[in-house]
């Protein structure tokens, strides 16, 4: 039996070589890693967030290495959805890897328009909605923190999207279950979590933040225990598949998220120090399955004993 066979799985009806995907925001548009990583060895990849129009992003510095992780505030810099479908997507379509487009916006119509443009082009397996954005038409309330607003954006995107829609939830909420259930009730095909934790790092000498925008998003190993808890809670609250992310750096880390209830995982910050980490983690996960005498990776999902 090949190494790939025990890892083969499906996500929202999409066949995956393995359950390890490269996360949005840390893997560019995917194609930039072509010479570093065998993209066909990935379970899938999620391109960096796409908006209706190009965005230049925040003032530097944008990244700071913190204890046990990284704080970033890139400002959702991207080339815009129309440039993406013209300049990046045709190259990605050459690969057998499942490619998901991460979508964000500041009004419901922004999400809908990005999805509408993407729907006209081949080469994508599905969409991941980044709902950790303020809704400017509703006083800046974040889509990710209000079940009603979250439901509105999911319903609107589902009206135009023929491909599966995964909703990426924020951990910066009082309880994850109401948001997970709201996304499911609105028609989401899956969930991914968690996005970064709002954080602050200070230079004591200058008494200023180390990030140009002030606050940033904390990711990496430091957030893994909290991410595991949130994935477990979300997976137990819904029937749709969950993708887990947050500090995954090894095959055992990936196994822990699957045990917590995730169907697949995304690797983000680890790619900064090891661009090949998603492929390595998949290999390590295969070795874990072999050691534990587990025939198929799906047998791990949701097996936490509490």
| All structural domains of the chain with their residue ranges | 4-58+75-196+220-300
The CA-atom distances, in angstroms, between 105 and each of 76, 120, 171, 182, 213 are: 10, 19, 19, 19, 19
Quote the pLDDT of residue 138.
78
Name the pTM for this structure: 0.96
Average pLDDT of the residues in 41-56:
97
- Helix axis angle, 251-260 to 224-237, nearest 10°: 30
Quote the pLDDT of residue 141.
84
Catalytic, out of 12, 133, 181, 232: 133
Residue 40 CB neighbour total at 10 angstroms:
11
pLDDT digits (tens, 9 = 90+) for 135-177: 888 778 899 999 999 999 999 999 999 999 999 999 999 999 9
Residue 230 CB neighbour total at 10 angstroms:
25
Q: How far is residue 159's CA from residue 157's CA, in Å, rounded to a whole number?
A: 5
Top-confidence residue, 135 or 45:
45
Quote the pLDDT of residue 89.
98
pLDDT category at 66 given cuts 50, 70, 90 is very high
Q: By the 8 A CB rule, do 115 and 84 touch?
A: no
Q: How far is residue 220's CA from residue 24's CA, in Å, rounded to a whole number?
A: 14
Quote the pLDDT of residue 1.
41
Quote the pLDDT of residue 3.
57
Average pLDDT of the residues in 31-56:
97
Q: By the 8 A CB rule, do 184 and 155 touch?
A: no
Enter the DSSP assignment of 205: T
Average pLDDT of the residues in 176-203:
97
Locate tokens 């990496």: which residue? 220
Token pair for 120: 């006209």
Average pLDDT of the residues in 67-94:
96
Q: Which fold has domain 4-58+75-196+220-300?
A: TIM Barrel (3.20.20)
181 is catalytic: no
Q: By the 8 A CB rule, do 254 and 271 touch?
A: no
Quote the pLDDT of residue 137.
80
Quote the pLDDT of residue 53.
97
Chain-wide mean pLDDT for the chain? 96
Of the candidate ranges 21-35, 126-140, 155-169, 172-186, the one whose mean pLDDT is the lowest:
126-140
pLDDT at 2 > cutoff 80: no
């Amino acid at each position: 039996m090949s190494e790939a066979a025990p890892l083969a799985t499906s996500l929202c009806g999409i066949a995956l070589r393995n359950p390890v995907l490269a996360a949005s925001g840390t893997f560019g548009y995917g194609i930039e890693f072509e010479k570093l990583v065998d993209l066909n060895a990935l379970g899938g990849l999620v391109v960096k967030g796409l908006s209706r129009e190009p965005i230049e992003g925040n003032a530097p510095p944008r990244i700071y290495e913190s204890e046990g992780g990284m704080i970033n505030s890139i400002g959702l810099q991207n080339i815009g959805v129309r440039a993406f479908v013209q300049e990046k997507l045709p190259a990605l379509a050459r690969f057998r890897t499942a490619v998901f487009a991460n979508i964000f916006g500041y009004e419901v119509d922004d999400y809908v328009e990005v999805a509408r443009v993407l729907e006209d082009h081949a080469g994508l397996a599905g969409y991941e909605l980044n709902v950790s954005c303020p809704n400017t038409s509703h006083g800046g309330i974040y889509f990710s923190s209000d079940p009603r607003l979250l439901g509105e954006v999911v319903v609107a995107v589902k009206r135009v999207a023929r491909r599966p829609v995964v909703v990426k939830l924020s951990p910066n909420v009082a309880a994850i279950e109401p948001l997970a259930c709201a996304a499911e009730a609105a028609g989401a095909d899956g969930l991914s979590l968690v996005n970064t934790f709002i954080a602050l790092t200070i230079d004591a000498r200058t008494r200023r933040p180390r990030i140009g925008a002030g606050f940033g998003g904390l990711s990496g190993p430091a957030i893994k225990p909290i991410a595991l808890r949130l994935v477990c809670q979300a997976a137990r609250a819904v029937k749709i598949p969950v993708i887990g992310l947050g500090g995954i750096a090894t095959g055992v880390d990936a196994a822990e998220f699957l045990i917590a209830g995730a169907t697949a995982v995304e690797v983000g910050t680890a790619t900064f120090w090891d661009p090949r980490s998603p492929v390595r983690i998949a290999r390590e996960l295969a070795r874990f399955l072999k050691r534990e005498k587990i025939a198929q990776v799906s047998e791990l999902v949701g097996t936490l004993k509490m």
